[in-house]
A = this chain, B = another copy of it.
Amino acid sequence: MEKFQSKQLDHEKVFRDPVHTYIHVKDKVVFDVINAKEFQRLRRIKQLGPASYVFPGATHTRFEHNLGVYELTRRICNIFEEKYPSVHPGDGLWDPNESLLAQCAALLHDIGHGPYSHTFEHLFDTNHEKMGQEIITDKNTEINKALRQVSPSFPELVASVIAKTYPNPQVVKLISSQADADRMDYLLRDAYFTGVTYGAFDLTRILEVIRPYRDGICFTYKGIHAVEDYIISRYQMYQQVYFHRVNRSMEVILHHLLQRAQRLYQENKLQVTPQLAAFLGENWTLSDYLKLDDGVMETNFLLWSESSDQILADLANRYLYRHPLESVKINEETKNLIPKLDKLIEQAGFNPKYYTDTNSAFDEPYDAYKPTGKNAHSPIEIMQEDGTLVELSEFSPLVKSLNGTLQGDERFFFPKTMVKQNNEPQIFDPIYQEFQKYIRNNELHYLRRPSKK
């Protein structure tokens, strides 16, 4: 098997990081990847998109997160090399020769992301996974050039780890599984920057009990409480942060704003900077993609906020200056009320196409079953004293309770004015009052029939 050699830097480089204290870099290839322009560009893309509208501290970027995943992977590789070095192929232990590959894949696992990926991809037919593969394997990128220092095939190998086609499951699962370095970093980092303490699990303990086995990564028995705690933290971050109703509301606005812009562009009525024009024209290259960032998007929103198209201007202002839509929980049954509500909203002067939406946010906190689909994750395995593996939820009533469930809600979004006005009487008051009858305790519900007497 090919040996991956990397030149070492003269002096170890360190980056200050509030989550891991320091990020350590000794390999020249890692340092060169970080300095590549495609990587530096991540400094201008927020990790959590519009979440900083809800959690003002959440301005951290994909740059720091990628460094963090690298650092965690580096620490785990060091632990594996010291505690579980492979003696002969197939012994289920860690081959130190894989460490550099794992670290580069960790560093680059999210390199394909652009601004507001979720919303952007939906509308502009981009795909961060595909773009990531391209950035790594295209001979013209600085990242590709840096990786080729190691060997001509190294970029392809890094890409294969991220694509989960690399043959060694230990390397793949370190980067993507139900307990991978990616999730560990983003939970800790998002918790730190939002200030939501729920996401903070016991990383030190996790690093004490993580170990390789033949088919991937597992945890020793004495660490079950730390692993359990990690699953709970993940669940809580989803419920508290990622699925926050205002966060989703800002995404709804963003989606409608870009939709409106797309339409006006087609009608040749949109002012737009060159960086974004390529995408609205559906004719873009990798080089165009690499010039997108949060600032470019917002610069366009600023232009649009003065558009003569009132819907575009209003949505841009709502996004820039944080005027979220209001929302209520819905279910399969109460969903049927939406057309009725849309009509009221329209009577109050809003185009429901741009001012209302439904949005589902559900997550499966843990899945104990063997994967079937491409994105399915294998369960978390616990290694007992005698070396046998047991799936986590066997030991944890908490994890068992979450196993295979979908947690989250579906909501209906609409203009806040329908439910919250100043106290002065207003022309639309009867409409508002009618609307409000359908809402109680933050949920949509059917009107109770007045009982006959």
A interface residues, Cβ below 8 angstroms from B: 14-19, 21-22, 35, 37, 40-41, 43-44, 46, 52-57, 59-61, 63-64, 67, 192-198, 200, 202, 204, 208, 221, 225, 228-229, 232, 235-236, 239-240, 273-275, 291, 293-299, 302-303, 317, 320-322, 384-386, 388, 397-398, 400-402, 405, 407, 440-442
Contacts and interface: CB of A to CB of B under 8 A. Distances in A.
Interface centre among A41, A43, A440 (most CB of B within 10 A): A43
B291 A296 contact: no
Given A386-B440, A388-B441, A401-B402, 20 more contacts: A16-B54, A16-B55, A16-B56, A16-B196, A22-B204, A40-B321, A56-B63, A221-B442, A293-B295, A293-B302, A294-B295, A295-B297, A295-B298, A296-B298, A397-B401, A397-B402, A397-B407, A398-B402, A400-B401, A401-B401
A8 to B, nearest CB: 12
B198 A229 contact: yes
B386 A322 contact: no
Contacts of A52: 43
B295 A57 contact: no
8 contacts: A18-B194, A35-B322, A221-B441, A228-B236, A229-B236, A294-B295, A398-B402, A401-B401
B63 A384 contact: no
Nearest to A296: B299
A14 B205 CA distance: 11
A43 B18 contact: no
Contact of A302 (B43, B232, B296): B296
Given A22-B204, A40-B322, A202-B197, A56 B385 contact: no
Contacts of A228: 236
Given A44-B298, A204-B21, A441-B386, A16 B320 contact: no
A137 B299 CA distance: 27
A18 B317 CA distance: 27
Nearest to A57: B18
A343 B204 CA distance: 43
Contacts of A14: 208
Given A16-B194, A407-B397, A40 B273 contact: no
